[in-house]
Amino acid sequence: MTHATLIPPHQKMKSGYAAPKKPSKKEFKDTRIALLATRWNVEVVEALLAGAAACLKDWGVPDENIEVLYAPGAYELPLAASAILASGRFDGVVALGAVIRGDTPHFDFVAGECARGLMDVQLAICRPVGFGVLTVNTPEQAFERCAPGKTNKGYECAAAVLEMLRLTRHVIGAPTAEGA
C-alpha cells in the first residue's frame, strides 16, 4: 500500500514535516550564516530574506553573525555560494530567490541549473547550502510561499541549513567558520 492510497482523492495534502528538536540557547551562538539573495523578483526575495532572518533569530544565531549578500540572479547563485563558503568565513549559506515560469524555456534552464549547482557546492565543500529558490508558475504562487511566519520558505530554508549544520557537526565534527 502506498501513501497515495491512504489519502482520499478529494483531499489535497502536502507532506507533513517533523520539526527537529529546538536548539539549546547557545547551540548556534558562534555560527556564521550568509543569506545569499538574488536581485530579481525583489518583493518576493525581500520577504524570503525576512523569513530567513526570523528563523536565524529564533534559533539563536546572533545578528552580527549574519551577512546578507546578493547575486545578480538564480543562475549565479552556485558560484556565489561556492565563493562564500571557500572564504572560510561562513558555516552555511541560505540561497534565496524566485524563478517564475514565463513563455519560454528559460525557466527550466535557470531553475534546474541553479538547483544542481547549489547541490554540487554543498557536496564539494561539505557545508550546507539551503535551496530557498522558489520555482513557481505564477507570481501568486510565489507570494503564497513567502508570507510571514514559519511556513515562509525563507524561514524553512534557514531552518534546514541549521539542522544540517547540527547533523554534520554531530557526524563529522565539522568546525565552525571561526574554528576553520
157 Cα distance to chain centroid: 3
H/E/C letters for each residue in 34-52?
Answer: EEEEECCCHHHHHHHHHHH
- Distance separating alpha carbons of residues 127 and 177, to the nearest angstrom: 10
Strands of the chain, DSSP E: 33-38, 66-71, 92-100, 129-136
CB 110 within 8 A of CB 76: no
- Distance separating alpha carbons of residues 54 and 35, to the nearest angstrom: 12
Active site residue 106: yes
Question: Which cell is 111 given?
Answer: 531553475
Of 3, 10, 106, 170, which is the active-site residue? 106
- Distance separating alpha carbons of residues 36 and 27, to the nearest angstrom: 22
Enumerate the active-site residues.
106
